């Protein structure tokens, strides 16, 4: 019954297509109907040999074999819109196959109408334009990352003891539905534009790609060659190449304090610091081996990284909420957005390359004050039991208590009474290891819960000194916060059941307290090594988990 209703719906849609085509075309109604009737028959017969799941067969079956791009006397408005949109896409490599195929196909369409080509030629071009449309929508909305190959590489890491995962959110773009709307007279140009992501400053990064493509066309930038670490006030021949390099990417802007000779002056120092900040480096103004290495990355390398991250953004969660917590792993930062504007930033510590923080999305539901740390089985087996085998009092030094189960009535266990060798590699560890609440606790004094299968959350930490480092991959996978109390205060401003002053008093003691949030906030843990920040500045970061490297191994070239 449902199938019958769908067939009737499609029949009405087809009738609507013919009606609109007749209304909008200047040719006679009879000629128009004859062309589309014959074209549809030819198309239907031609596609019978195509696999049922092929794009062409699925698309034209859904459209009842009505042509989208070709008309009797000229191409449709949709065809013109498609060609124009592809040619205006500044992220595309103008020397690449997709762009060049567009130019060639557009030329063939012009030719077939110029010499009044046969219907079979127009049908052939109809199919070729649809294949071009499929290729472009794949490029623009799904991207070039081979996610299957990447997930296989992730699986290999897991086999080798590295526990991680990257949760994907497939883009909600339906290319066939857009083509169907275009066949009904819809504005394809607007549909293509509207389908372009806006999350995570995607369109701003697109513009930066266009700028870097222009830089490439103009010759890119030369290498900076220095004989030693360059410090403010020093002078050497390499200063000239440094100034030229930073001028290309607009980090350096001439100022009144500069005489632009071979001396590393204040104006150039400011440019170096600006570059270092954009690249996640220590902004000491000195050009040592690390800064020099980043300066000498080529424009092609930078474009490759930017395009890779554009494609990552396409597959990230888009919560479309008033408030949003974003944790970017390579940036070691938390960003709290409200109404799309940046409200708060907090330094973070993330997982080591051997214990990487997973990429996933969830919702902050609860804040815990004075939390205990229930230690995961993996840490118990890999770290705690080896310590106990050497010293049965090892846990006492860390104020970790051991219980004979997870129930409320579980009894304390004397670690000296247990044969820990028995559980070193066991699938089941019947004991609960819990670190008591307090400033010594690995979770610190505040924990933010967003339930997930990874047992990952945001929390305070007693190791505050680590936040002074530029690279902060030190945890077992959880996200440590430099200023958890400040984030608690932020949550209190839109949750009237969270009293910040009362919470401060609770934190002076050790009694655990749970604060259930009335207004919950989506949290997205992401992995971007290039993006545009809230000030409109292009950023690059180090590929700490080697995900860039993995994904580029099977990155599709267009």
pLDDT value for 369: 96
Residue with tokens 């690279």, as numbered in its chain: 471
Mean pLDDT on 180-185: 91
What is the secondary structure of 21-32 as a DSSP string? HHHH-SS-HHHH
- For 475, the domain range is 320-372+440-526
With CA atoms as reference, report the closest residue to 481 among 365, 330, 390, 349: 349
Query: Tokens 């020093």, residue?
Result: 234
Smallest CA-to-CA distance from 59 within 180, 204, 160, 187 is with 180
- List the structure tokens of 303: 């474009």
Residue 309 included in any domain: no
Could you tell me if 270 and 343 lie in one domain? no
In a shared domain, residues 343 and 457: yes
Q: What is the pLDDT of residue 407?
A: 83
DSSP-assigned beta bridge partners for residue 481: 348
pLDDT of residue 366 exceeding 80: yes
Mean pLDDT of the chain: 90
- Residues 125 and 51 reside in one and the same domain: yes
- 19 with 76, same domain: the answer is yes
DSSP state string for 350-376: EE-TTSPPPBEEEEEEEEEES--EE--
pLDDT at 27: 41
| Mean pLDDT confidence for 497-518 | 94
CA angle (285, 291, 292) in 5-degree steps: 115
d(Cα 410, Cα 390) in Å, to the nearest integer?
A: 26
Q: Coil, strand or helix: which one is 431?
A: coil
pLDDT at residue 181 is higher than 70: yes
Least confident of 49-53, 63-67, 405-409: 405-409
Dist CA 470 CA 464 (whole Å): 13
Tell me the per-residue pLDDT of 354-363, one tens digit each, with 9 for 90 and over: 999 999 999 9
Nearest-angstrom CA–CA distance, 105 and 281:
46
Q: Is residue 140 a part of any domain in this protein?
A: yes
The answer as to whether 104 is a domain residue is yes
pLDDT tens-digit series, residues 225-240: 998 999 988 888 889 9
Task: Say what the pLDDT of residue 535 is.
Answer: 96
Asked whether the beta carbons of 514 and 498 are under 8 A apart, the reply is no
**372 contacts 441 by C-beta, under 8 angstroms:** yes
Are 36 and 68 in the same domain? yes
Question: With helix as H, strand as E and coil as C, how does 65-95 read?
Answer: CCCCCECCCCECHHHHHHHHHHHCCCCCCCC
d(Cα 126, Cα 79) in Å, to the nearest integer? 9
Alpha-carbon gap, residue 255 to 248, rounded angstroms: 16
- Report angle CA 146, 149, 152 to the nearest 5 degrees: 145
**Do 28 and 109 belong together in one domain?**
yes
Among 166, 194, 222, give the residue marking a domain's end. 194
Q: Give the CATH number, domain containing residue 247.
A: 1.10.101
Instruction: Please indicate, yes or no, if residue 219 is contained in any of the structural domains.
Output: no
Q: What is the pLDDT of residue 395?
A: 87
One domain, residues 56 and 179: yes
Does residue 447 sit in helix, strand or coil?
strand
Q: pLDDT tier at 290 (50, 70, 90 boundaries)?
A: very high
What integer is the mean pLDDT of 195-213? 96
Average of pLDDT values for 4-25? Answer: 45
- CA–CA separation, 77 and 127 (whole Å): 16
Whether the full predicted model's pTM is greater than 0.95, yes or no, is no
The count of domains in the chain is 4
Within 10 A of 310 (CB to CB), how many other CB atoms are there?
Answer: 24
Helix (H) or strand (E) holding 501: helix 500-507
Contact predicate 454/475, CB 8 Å: no
Residue pair 323/338 in contact (Cβ under 8 Å)? The answer is: yes
Strands (E) located in 370-407: 373-374, 400-403
The CA distance from 338 to 492, in Å, is 14
Q: How far apart are CA 306 and CA 209, in angstroms?
A: 7
306 domain-assigned: no
- Cβ contact 525:357 at 8 Å: yes
* 473 and 489 together in one domain: yes
Q: Does pLDDT of 83 surpass 90?
A: yes
Give bridge partners of residue 175 from the DSSP assignment: none
| 320 dihedral zone (left: phi>0; alpha: psi -120 to 50; beta) | left
- What per-residue confidence (pLDDT) applies to 14? 47
Q: Residue 2: is its pLDDT beyond 70? A: no
Which band of pLDDT confidence, cut at 50, 70 and 90, is reported for residue 32?
Answer: low
Task: Give the mean model confidence (pLDDT) for residues 317-340.
Answer: 96
**Based on the domain organization, do 29 and 53 belong to the same domain?**
yes
pLDDT tens sequence across 143-157: 999 999 999 998 887
The residues facing 432 across adjacent strands are 403
Read off the pLDDT of each residue in 81-105 and give the average, rounded to a whole number.
95
How far apart CA 525 and CA 493 sit, in angstroms, is: 23
Whether residues 336 and 253 fall in one domain: no
Q: What is the pLDDT of residues 462-481, one digit of tens each?
A: 999 999 999 999 998 999 99
Residue 504, both tokens:
């401060």
Tell me which of 408, 435, 462 is where a domain ends.
Answer: 435
Q: What is the pLDDT of residue 28?
A: 42
**7 falls in which pLDDT band (50, 70, 90)?**
very low
Answer positive or negative: Cα dihedral of 82, 87, 91, 95: positive
160 in a structural domain = no
Phi and psi dihedrals of 234, rounded to 5?
A: -70, 160
Secondary structure element (H or E) that encloses residue 348, with its range: strand 341-351
In a domain, 365, yes or no: yes
Give the whole-angstrom CA distance, residue 31 versus residue 36. Answer: 9
Q: Give the domain-ending residue among 161, 194, 227.
A: 194
> Do residue 65 and residue 33 come from a single domain?
yes
pLDDT band at 160 (very low <50, low <70, confident <90, very high): low
- Give the residue-averaged pLDDT of 544-554: 96
Tens-place pLDDT, residues 230-277: 998 888 888 999 999 999 999 998 887 666 778 899 999 999 999 999
Do residues 457 and 368 share a domain? yes
Distance from CA of residue 21 to its chain's centroid? 41
Q: Would you say residue 167 lies in a domain?
A: no
Q: Is the model's pLDDT at 10 over the cut of 60?
A: no
Contact 236, 227 (CB under 8 A): yes
């Amino acid at each position: 019954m449902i199938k019958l209703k769908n067939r009737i719906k499609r029949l009405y849609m087809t009738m609507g297509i013919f009606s609109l085509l007749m209304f909008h075309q200047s040719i006679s109604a009879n000629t128009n109907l004859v062309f589309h009737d014959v074209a549809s028959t030819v198309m239907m017969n031609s596609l019978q040999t195509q696999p049922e799941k092929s794009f062409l067969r699925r698309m034209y079956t859904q459209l009842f074999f009505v042509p989208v791009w070709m008309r009797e006397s000229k191409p449709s408005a949709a065809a013109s819109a498609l060609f124009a949109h592809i040619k205006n896409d500044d992220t595309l490599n103008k020397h690449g196959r997709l762009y060049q195929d567009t130019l060639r196909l557009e030329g063939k369409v012009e030719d077939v109408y110029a010499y009044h080509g046969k219907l079979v030629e127009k049908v052939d071009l109809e199919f070729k334009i649809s294949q071009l449309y499929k290729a472009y929508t794949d490029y623009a909305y799904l991207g070039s990352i081979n996610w299957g190959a990447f997930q296989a590489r992730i699986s290999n890491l897991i086999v080798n003891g590295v526990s991680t995962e990257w949760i994907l959110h497939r883009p909600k773009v339906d290319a066939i539905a857009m083509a169907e709307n275009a066949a009904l007279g819809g504005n394809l140009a607007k549909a293509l534009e509207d389908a372009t992501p806006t999350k995570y400053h995607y369109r701003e990064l697109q513009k930066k790609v266009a700028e870097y493509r222009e830089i490439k066309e103009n010759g890119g930038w030369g290498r900076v060659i220095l004989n030693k670490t360059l410090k403010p006030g020093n002078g050497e021949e390499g200063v000239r190449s440094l100034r030229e390099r930073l001028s290309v990417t607009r980090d350096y802007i001439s100022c009144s304090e500069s005489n632009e000779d071979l001396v590393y002056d204040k104006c150039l120092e400011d440019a170096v610091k600006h570059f270092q900040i954009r690249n996640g480096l220590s902004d000491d103004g000195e050009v040592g081996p690390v800064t020099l290495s980043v300066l000498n990355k080529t424009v092609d390398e930078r474009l490759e990284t930017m395009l890779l991250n554009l494609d990552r953004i396409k597959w990230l969660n888009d919560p479309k909420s008033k408030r949003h917590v974003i944790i970017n792993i390579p940036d070691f930062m938390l960003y709290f957005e409200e109404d799309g504007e940046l409200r708060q930033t907090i330094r973070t510590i993330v997982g080591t390359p051997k214990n990487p923080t997973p990429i996933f999305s969830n919702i902050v539901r609860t804040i815990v004050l004075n939390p205990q740390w229930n230690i995961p089985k993996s840490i118990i087996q890999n770290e705690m039991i080896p310590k106990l085998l050497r010293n049965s009092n090892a846990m006492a030094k860390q104020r970790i208590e051991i219980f004979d189960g997870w129930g409320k009535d579980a009894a304390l266990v004397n670690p000296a009474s247990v044969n820990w060798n028995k559980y070193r590699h066991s699938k089941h560890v019947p004991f609960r290891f819990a670190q008591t609440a307090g400033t010594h606790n690995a979770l610190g004094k505040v924990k933010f819960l967003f339930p997930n299968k990874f047992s990952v959350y945001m929390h305070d930490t007693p190791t505050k000194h680590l936040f002074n480092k530029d690279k902060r991959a030190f945890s077992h996978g959880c996200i440590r916060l430099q200023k958890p109390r400040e984030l608690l205060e932020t949550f209190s401003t839109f949750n009237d059941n969270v009293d910040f002053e009362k919470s401060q008093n609770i934190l002076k003691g050790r009694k655990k307290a749970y604060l259930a949030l009335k207004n919950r906030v989506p949290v997205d843990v992401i992995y971007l090594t290039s993006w545009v920040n809230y000030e409109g500045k292009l950023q690059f970061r180090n590929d700490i988990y080697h995900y860039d490297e993995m994904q580029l191994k099977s990155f599709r070239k267009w």
